[in-house]
Amino acid sequence: MERYWTGHPAQGVEYCQQAIAALEHLGEDERLGMAYFVLGLNALSLGCFEQALEAVSRADAIGEATADRRLLTFAAWTIGWVQATRGDWEAGIASCQRALERSSDPLNTAFAMGWLGYAHLEQGDLARAMPALEQAVQSMRQFGYRRLEGLYTTLLGELHLQRGDLDTARTLALQGLSSASETPYRTGTAWAQRTLGRIAQTAGALEEAEVHLTEALTTFTAMQAHFEVGRTHLSLAELAQRQGHRDAMMLHLTEAYALFTAWHAPVYAQHTAQRAQTLGLTCAAPTALTASNPAD
């Protein structure tokens, strides 16, 4: 778990696998279930969605066998987080709602509420995302859980960006960055950096946007957070288009498409390919994009 929080998910996966091997003889045991749950978190952070779902589904099965509502809730909102992240929004929303129904403690309820808000946000349903995220932020603040307070605050900033309220979006993203920076939670820091870059780009502050987005890319890359690296490349491609830097735009789209393809995120791979086509690019291979009309 410490490897997950500090941004070393590859080591986290390794340690979890060692723990699972040592605990398998216990059978349906809460400790084994928690090992699978933490394996799922680290695999999700890497962008290994199938491994994450397999691990957390195993945690869910152990929770069912032992009637452990806490483990069942952990498993449900993590499954929802995975599903929403890779573009299976309806399933993600259903999993997070199931987590809320299963929850037996206020902190787990707050986790589930935050990821439910995230799933609605990913789907583009801002009206349903806002109250869930606001409640999650308030709960995290009450519990003194700074890591996820920062991340959920950043997500609220992203929501206000999509609503067109740049001032509120920037205030929230800066608060999210401040909260995350007080902890070792590198995921929260990188998400805040990326959101600040997207806000600056929308506001026309392109140099500032490039600084923030490059910082986010550096942080996610250091973590080996492959899927989030891909999403950050998409943001950098949009920025390069605004700047009129065609070669850089092509490079970022190529990197994003390759990552989404390699890490089995078909919704995002398709979105990247479609975006490329609107810009005069075509998908030439599973790991590359080429200009269909270089003279454009």
Q: Tens of pLDDT along 124-140?
A: 999 999 999 999 999 99
Phi and psi dihedrals of 74, rounded to 5? -50, -50
Q: Identify the burial level of 207 via C-beta atoms within 10 angstroms of its C-beta, where 0-12 means exposed, 13-18 middle and 19 or more buried.
A: exposed
Helices (H), the chain: 2-5, 9-23, 30-46, 49-66, 69-85, 89-102, 106-123, 126-143, 146-163, 166-181, 186-202, 206-223, 226-243, 246-262, 266-278
What are the Cα distances from residue 27, in Å, to 21, 30, 62, 131, 140?
11, 9, 9, 40, 34
Regions of the chain where pLDDT drops below 70: 282-296
* pLDDT for the residue numbered 296: 32
* pLDDT for the residue numbered 282: 63
289, 274 contact by CB (below 8 A): no
H or E segment and range at residue 285: strand 281-285
Other CB atoms within 10 Å distance of the CB of residue 101: 11
279, 271 contact by CB (below 8 A): no
Q: Among residues 97, 104, 92, which one has the least CA distance to residue 68? A: 104
* pLDDT for the residue numbered 14: 98
Locate the domains of the chain by residue range.
Answer: 1-67
Query: What is the pTM assigned to this prediction?
Result: 0.92
* pLDDT for the residue numbered 288: 42
